[in-house]
């Protein structure tokens, strides 16, 4: 069964409180038992305790799949980019180094790349992914567009990301301020200098937007 079209994933890294619940829940997923696929990353540990949960963004044109020499990474018709197919993956690491979001993980022991597959065993039967069910701050939210709009009155979802000159569109959305005029998130703007300073939203009132509790 495909993932229902009206159910979408919305990520809001600024809301992450680093509780690790998503990591623990992820390891419970039946498709990669015992191995969390989510990355919970400190953004700049020397500056802040702020963390970011990174899941697979399920790109429309997945670079990981395109650079795979074994043709092991497949996207389902409903747009979910799956883990490498076990008979084919030759553990070359190309996908790990090529993913613009830094998502795939190489399981060296198994000679196998594994990655977030949006808990396909759950989402394909209408349930939420494990991480989204346990995230207390809704940094990871899975639901309808209407639900997220009601909860984030000052945010809107975007699914377009810039990496240098490359634009990547994704199945997963990121919440950005409604007031922002940008139609995409420019990731490479954060290389260094001014852009590298931590500018987060966590201590502002936006965490507790009306209706978000």
Residues within window 84-143 making contact with other proteins, judged by CB under 8 A:
86-88, 90-94, 96-103, 109-112, 117, 120-121, 124-125
Stretch that binds other proteins, among 2-10, 18-26, 143-151, 160-168 (CB under 8 A): 160-168
Pick from 107, 111, 108, 106: nearest CA to 93: 106
Given the complex with other proteins, which of 21 and 103 has the nearer CB atom? 103
Q: Which of 10, 59, 82, 134 binds other proteins (CB under 8 A)?
A: 82
Q: Which of 28, 70, 78, 149 binds other proteins (CB under 8 A)?
A: 70
The two structure tokens encoding residue 198: 């931590």
Q: If DSSP codes are grouped into helix, strand and coil, which group holds residue 126?
A: coil
Pick from 74, 173, 82, 170: nearest CA to 124: 82
Q: In the complex, what is the shortest distance from the CB of residue 196 to other proteins, in angstroms, rounded to a whole number?
A: 7
Pick from 114, 113, 137, 117: nearest CA to 129: 117
Q: In the complex, what is the shortest distance from the CB of residue 25 to other proteins, in angstroms, rounded to a whole number?
A: 15
171 Cβ contact list (under 8 Å, min separation 6): 8, 9, 57, 58, 59, 60, 79, 80, 159
Given the complex with other proteins, which of 121 and 149 has the nearer CB atom? 121
Residue numbers 1-40 binding other proteins by CB under 8 A: 12-14, 16, 29-33, 39
Given the complex with other proteins, which of 109 and 146 has the nearer CB atom? 109
Q: In the complex, what is the shortest distance from the CB of residue 103 to other proteins, in angstroms, rounded to a whole number?
A: 8
Residue numbers 174-213 binding other proteins by CB under 8 A: 174-177, 179-180, 182, 185-193, 195-204, 206
Q: In the complex, what is the shortest distance from the CB of residue 145 to other proteins, in angstroms, rounded to a whole number?
A: 19
Please, what is the Cα angle at 101 between 55 and 204, to 5 degrees? 70
User: How many residues at the interface with other proteins, by CB under 8 A?
Assistant: 83
Q: Say if CB 7 and CB 142 are below 8 A apart.
A: yes
Q: If DSSP codes are grouped into helix, strand and coil, which group holds residue 112?
A: strand
């Amino acid at each position: 069964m495909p993932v229902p079209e009206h159910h979408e994933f919305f990520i809001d890294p600024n809301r992450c409180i680093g509780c690790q619940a998503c990591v623990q829940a992820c390891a419970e997923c039946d498709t990669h038992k015992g191995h969390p696929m989510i990355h919970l990353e400190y953004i700049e540990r020397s500056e802040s305790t702020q963390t970011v949960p990174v899941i697979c963004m399920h790109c429309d044109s997945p670079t990981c799949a395109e650079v795979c020499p074994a043709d092991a990474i497949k996207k389902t018709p409903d747009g979910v980019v799956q883990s490498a197919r076990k008979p084919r993956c030759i553990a070359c690491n190309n996908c790990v180094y090529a993913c613009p979001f830094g998502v795939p993980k190489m399981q060296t022991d198994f000679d196998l790349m594994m990655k977030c597959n949006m808990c396909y065993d759950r989402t394909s039967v209408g349930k939420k992914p494990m991480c989204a069910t346990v995230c207390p701050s809704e940094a990871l939210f899975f639901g309808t567009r209407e639900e997220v709009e009601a909860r984030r009155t000052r945010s809107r979802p975007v699914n377009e990301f810039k990496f240098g000159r490359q634009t990547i569109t994704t199945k997963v959305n990121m919440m950005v301020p409604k007031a922002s005029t940008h139609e995409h998130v420019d990731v490479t703007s954060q290389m260094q200098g001014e852009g590298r300073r931590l500018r987060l939203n966590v201590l502002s009132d936006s965490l507790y937007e009306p209706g978000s509790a």
